[in-house]
Structure 1
Amino acid sequence: MISRTVMGAGVGVALLAAVAGAAFADDTLKLTELSPDGKDACFGRVYDAAHLKSHPQQAAHLKSHPQQKVARIFFYYGRDPVSRPNEEPSTGIDSSYNGFMATTVRGAEAPEWLGGWCSHESEDGKTGPIRCGMDCDRTMASLKVDDKGRLIVSDVQPDLYLDAGSEDELGKAEYERQALGKDDNGFRLDPMPAATCKAEFARIDPIDPALGPPLRERLKPDQAFCYGRDYDAEHLGSHPDQLTQSIRVFRGPVELASFAKEGDPANWPSGADIAVSVTTRQKSAKVTQVYNCQGEGDQWRCAASAKTGDASCDIAQQEVFLRRGANGTMMLANPNSGLPIIDLCSKAAEGDTSSDDKVYRLEPMPQAACGL
């Protein structure tokens, strides 16, 4: 599918989507030790090679902590610095997470990160140690600020980025490879500008400006559209295992009327119908299939609908995935034989797509090109 397996997606987006909580009561952050002025606060420390050349005392730190894997660590107290508009319906609710940590281990190109909610461990929520919790009553870290304004981060567990019980599932050797090191605890972070943390978190999943806004913003609930591609002889000659000769993805009067009657614009694009028409090398006659879509992460997950044809099987198991492409294009993924280039009820439609018809880059076209 487009996210996770075919096109990739940021772990942080999925994590925050799973835990949507109440919005901050106002614009002021409550932990005054971390944020005396009520604004987003950033703390960090870097142990990478370039930094160590001019900071020999940190080289000595790593020498005396040979089992420390973390080379860079940043803690951000404030609003989510990672997620950005995606294809899921906008709830208008901020995440209840207010603490975010990013760590980069030695040799890694990008950080891992997670979020939690940080508060005082006391009945009144105003005194005592600061704990940042996560799902399943796990601890992300305990925090305190020293007399120089530096953030002391403790209680960081080796399995911070792993599922509970992963040691048994992975085995000892693989667990130790994926887990943080035994010396990855007790960090002392310097206060830094909020922009420094935002730049660090931006390294996790860099934004490609060419992608533009997500499809749910680019395409409106009451808007007809047509995307497609026709493959010439030269392309087909160099892709002998591709069945598709032409493909169109569209929403026309029928699909618009269906959403106007049964859909919820506030939940767009969930519940939206799209139609996909294809011709193949073997059959020049156009075959059209309707799909019903849901916003999921950075994609639309679209299941085949029985509104067209007289399928003799449960074709709702056949799916395709839409995602924004660069420069106004649309990407369509067909990882599991979800397109009507074959009989969706045949044995050939079971399992992974066997032909070279897995991913399409579609261009916007005039509506007439889709018969609208």
Structure 2
Amino acid sequence: MALKAVLGAGFVAALLALLSCAALADDAPRLSELSPDGKDACFGRVYDAAHLKAHPRQKVARIFFYYGHDPVSRPNEEPAPGSDTYNAFMTTTVRGASKPEWAGGWCNRQDPNDKSSGIHCGMDCDRTLASLKVDDKGRLTISDVQPDLYLDAGSEEELGTAEYNKQALGKEDDGFLLDPMPSATCKAEFARIDPIDPALGAPLRERLKPDQAFCYGHDYDDAHMAGHTGQLTQSIRVFRGPVELASFARDGDASNWPNGADIAVSVTTRQKSGKVTQTYSCQGEADQWRCVASAKMSDFSCDITQKEIFLRRGADGTMMLANPNSGLPVVDLCSKAADGKTKSDDKVYRLQPMPQSACAP
């Protein structure tokens, strides 16, 4: 069993920050000076060697600003957004970096009643993305770019001055003048951030339909178990059967799939001869399903709603299951053994598609 965590700590931190600092962007008006034709707008600049040599304190070698619909998120596990809001996305690549960093926000005129006034673009947690001006040639000037644009608040104290200066933008990374470009140019630039692995194929929410039963699993043979003495799991199944399908048909919303989808997980372990089954309720988050343990099956002596697992598409039609914090019933979910991070070698599973009969009760 691979030990590499499926769920990145960075994603969790970013998600928690977003939830704690959420601000409403849906009311941001569409700005005609950025998008005169009402379409997504792209601005960009790639600095040549001569410019960078003449500006040694400028770290940014490439910068693109996109105003419109999200160019960053690849097809993922979240339901399609219902909002048609225009938002702002900026990406920069510093000297020597192999791929860009990015930040997103929303923009408003500084004076709502004056179309000639400057434009302020904000971010979550009341931070500034940039200030904008469009000249009579359609070029975009970007200013007020903060050195800690891609860093957490208070990061200078946390990182120390030397490391902060290394990770922050440079002294001259401001006052950028960008040319209008085709929207496809910005989309291609944002695609460099996290290239799609074609081996992964379609996301789970497309592979697995709301009214479709499925079964994934893995059985570990004696040789594997002898070589992995820290692993408790002998067999595992992840499935949706008649009970889960009926539950979603009754209470679910197919347009919001996979949010609200119930799944069941059955495991057999070294310690117990019988099979243990636990149900979970799932939500789409970025490129994975976050599935929280449900108390539907029986009464528990503890609150199991904090017990969670994560599903992600794997290569060649497989499914990856991550169990970073003792969310699987390989141990009693209410025992001390289930506190904190998974202590056994039962953290990540690669599951193969199986016939539905392999997941029968």
Calculate the TM-score normalised by the size of structure 1.
0.84
SS of the aligned residue for 1:92 comes to coil
1:3 equivalent among 2, 7, 23:
7
Q: Give, in angstroms, the shift of residue 124 of structure 1.
A: 2.2
- In 2, are the aligned partners of 1:221 and 1:256 still within 8 Å (CA)? yes
Find the aligned partners of 2:81 and 2:62 in 1 and give their Cα distance.
Answer: 33
Q: Give, in angstroms, the shift of residue 295 of structure 1.
A: 2.4
- In 1, are the aligned partners of 2:216 and 2:237 still within 8 Å (CA)? yes
Find the aligned partners of 1:330 and 1:351 in 2 and give their Cα distance.
Answer: 24
Find the aligned partners of 2:191 and 2:289 in 1 and give their Cα distance.
Answer: 24
Give the percent of matched residue pairs that are identical in Structure 1 and Structure 2: 72
Distance 1:272 1:38, change over 3 A: closer
Counterpart in the other structure of 2:62: 72
SS of the aligned residue for 1:160 comes to coil
Counterpart in the other structure of 1:325: 314
Counterpart in the other structure of 1:41: 41
- Is residue 2:292 matched to residue 1:303? yes
Q: Give, in angstroms, the shift of residue 146 of structure 1.
A: 4.3
- Which amino acid is 2:250 matched to? K
Deviations 1:277-323 (A, max 9, x none): 11123433211111222222222222222233453322223221111
Counterpart in the other structure of 1:81: 71
Distance 1:167 1:258, change over 3 A: same
Counterpart in the other structure of 2:152: 163
- Is residue 2:348 matched to residue 1:347? no
- In 2, are the aligned partners of 1:228 and 1:363 still within 8 Å (CA)? yes
Structure 2 gap segments, 5+ residues each: none
SS of the aligned residue for 2:165 comes to helix
Counterpart in the other structure of 2:32: 31
Counterpart in the other structure of 1:191: 180
Counterpart in the other structure of 1:202: 191
- Is residue 2:254 matched to residue 1:259? no
Distance 1:89 1:197, change over 3 A: closer
Find the aligned partners of 1:125 and 1:90 in 2 and give their Cα distance.
Answer: 34
Distance 1:355 1:36, change over 3 A: same
- Which amino acid is 2:331 matched to? I
- In 1, are the aligned partners of 2:213 and 2:240 still within 8 Å (CA)? yes
Distance 1:212 1:125, change over 3 A: farther
SS of the aligned residue for 1:184 comes to coil
Deviations 1:116-146 (A, max 9, x none): 2234332325222233232344332222344
* CA RMSD, 1 decimal: 3.0
Deviations 1:216-235 (A, max 9, x none): 23222222111111122333
Distance 1:288 1:159, change over 3 A: same
Which stretch shows the higher mean deviation, 262-271 or 345-354? 262-271
- In 1, are the aligned partners of 2:100 and 2:192 still within 8 Å (CA)? yes
SS of the aligned residue for 1:201 comes to helix
Counterpart in the other structure of 1:118: 107
Find the aligned partners of 2:312 and 2:257 in 1 and give their Cα distance.
Answer: 15
SS of the aligned residue for 1:197 comes to helix
- In 1, are the aligned partners of 2:216 and 2:238 still within 8 Å (CA)? yes
SS of the aligned residue for 2:238 comes to strand
SS of the aligned residue for 1:104 comes to strand
Find the aligned partners of 1:10 and 1:213 in 2 and give their Cα distance.
Answer: 26
Q: Give, in angstroms, the shift of residue 359 of structure 1.
A: 0.5
Distance 1:137 1:348, change over 3 A: closer
Find the aligned partners of 1:95 and 1:11 in 2 and give their Cα distance.
Answer: 22
1:241 equivalent among 219, 224, 230:
230
2:214 equivalent among 219, 225, 239:
225
Find the aligned partners of 1:269 and 1:41 in 2 and give their Cα distance.
Answer: 31
Q: Give, in angstroms, the shift of residue 250 of structure 1.
A: 0.8
- In 1, are the aligned partners of 2:25 and 2:106 still within 8 Å (CA)? no
Q: Give, in angstroms, the shift of residue 20 of structure 1.
A: 6.8
Distance 1:23 1:370, change over 3 A: farther
Q: Give, in angstroms, the shift of residue 202 of structure 1.
A: 0.3
Calculate the TM-score normalised by the size of structure 2.
0.86
1:336 equivalent among 322, 325, 330:
325
Q: Give, in angstroms, the shift of residue 331 of structure 1.
A: 0.9
- Which amino acid is 2:237 matched to? R
Q: How many residues align?
A: 355
